[in-house]
Amino acid sequence: MKSWIAFWNILRKDMRNYYLKPPNISWGLVFPVAWTLMFFLKSPTAVDVRQLLPGVMSLSVLFGTTSMLSVALTFERRSRSFERLLLSPLDLNLLMLAKTSGAVFFGLFNAFVPVFFAVFMTDLSGIRWLPVLGAVFLISLTSTLLGLFIAVAVREVFEAQTFSNFFRFPMIFLCGLFIPVQALPLLLQPVSYVLPLTYGADILKTAISQNGHLALSLNFALLLVFAAGLFAISIRNVKRRWIY
């Protein structure tokens, strides 16, 4: 019970102290709104909102979660407060789950910013909301763990943002968000299939616009594998780099 009380207090403190910092405001809150408006309102021709929605939702989650965690942990490492947490009698796995949960929740919120705008622009009936919620959660989880991987590798906030973009911007083109994976050059398609966002976006495409190309069960299974693998790698890196 005491461990879960600590979990809740860490999560609450992160939400209050870090997730409204300027870098997180710009990348985590303003960016999804600006991205959505750019696609839905500024196109010179009519757009199929349901076709664009899976990609915009995926990007909103990706940019929000990676920004949240990498910046929050970088702030804590600079102030050395994270070292005090590592010295506490709390299991490392539970500690890192507490540190990542806030970003996951923020990603869930970001995902539905585009949905809010889409409601006023098109008919969203027929969407399979259960797979959508599952996909959004797993995209948030894997993107957050990517942010943890980035946070372990840097020391400054600007380094975290720069390193994040090294991963994030190629995903816009390689994960089938707006350009189908099948339409990519053959040399790039294998790269797409080693990125977890590809499978999350495919679930959203199947559930929203019915144009996914992989089975839902395969997508969910692979996302769970990616999540478990990223968490294990992140814990190993924390032990190797942050615990002396």
How high is the pLDDT of residue 129?
93
pLDDT per residue over 79-127, tens digit each?
Answer: 777 777 777 777 888 888 888 888 888 888 888 888 888 888 888 888 9
User: Could you tell me what percent of the chain has a pLDDT over 90?
Assistant: 20
Is residue 73 over pLDDT 90?
A: no
Q: Which residue has the higher pLDDT, 73 or 115?
A: 115
Question: What is the arithmetic mean of pLDDT over 122-142?
Answer: 91
For residue 133, what are its two tokens? 């919620």
Question: Which secondary-structure segment (H or E) carries 23?
Answer: helix 22-24
How high is the pLDDT of residue 97?
84
pLDDT per residue over 166-177, tens digit each?
Answer: 888 888 889 988
Residue type at 45? Answer: T
Q: Which residue has the higher pLDDT, 20 or 129?
A: 129
Specify the long-range contacts of residues 33-38, CB closer than 8 Å, at least 24 apart.
33/113, 35/59, 35/60, 35/63, 35/114, 36/60, 36/113, 36/114, 36/117, 37/117
How high is the pLDDT of residue 25?
61
Question: What is the arithmetic mean of pLDDT over 35-54?
Answer: 69
How high is the pLDDT of residue 120?
83
Is residue 44 over pLDDT 60?
A: no
How high is the pLDDT of residue 64?
78
pLDDT per residue over 201-224, tens digit each?
Answer: 999 999 998 888 889 999 999 999
Give me the residue spans of the domains in the chain.
2-241
How high is the pLDDT of residue 235?
85
Question: What is the arithmetic mean of pLDDT over 143-147?
Answer: 87
Is residue 31 over pLDDT 90?
A: no
How high is the pLDDT of residue 89?
75
What b/e readout covers 202-231, taking b as 16+ CB neighbours within 10 angstroms?
A: bbbbbbbbeebebebeebbebbeebbeebb
CA distance linking residue 127 with residue 118, whole number of Å: 12
Distance between the two ends of the chain, CA-based, in angstroms?
A: 28
* pLDDT-derived band at 149, boundaries 50, 70, 90: confident
